[in-house]
Homo-oligomer: A and B are copies of this chain.
Amino acid sequence: MQVSEAEWTDTEKNIARAAFDQAYKREVEALLKQVREQASTLVELSDLWRLHDFLSARRHEVEGKYDYQYPVLLFVFAGLVKEGWLHLNELEGLDKEKLSKIAALARI
């Protein structure tokens, strides 16, 4: 289900980039908010190491997830839709086949 760069029109690329950036912005803002809240309740050292473990996991996850490479972009979008960082309608303008693939993958 890989789609090479040549199969994306310029319009689709613009839509994809904007959607990708929007999802990234949402997830980063939510993460920052969560950490600010978690940090404000720190009482003991074990809380701090729990925050550290949390950041280790999220860093690994976030850095791996936002991979803007056309061949894997349908999978990336499907994951973002599934997790709620992106709405399918923000991808409108992509061709029907790409959209239905993303929707199907997001349901898995």
User: Which residues of A are in contact with B by a Cβ distance under 8 Å?
Assistant: 28, 31-32, 35-36, 38-40, 42-45, 47-49, 51-52, 55-56, 59, 62
17 contacts between A and B (CB under 8 A): A28-B45, A31-B48, A32-B42, A32-B43, A32-B44, A35-B42, A35-B51, A36-B39, A38-B39, A45-B62, A48-B55, A49-B59, A51-B55, A52-B56, A52-B59, A55-B55, A56-B56
A61 to chain B, nearest CB (A): 12
A39 closest partner in B (C-beta) = B39
In Å, the complex CA distance between A28 and B49 comes to 12
Q: Is A40 within 8 A of B36, CB to CB?
A: yes
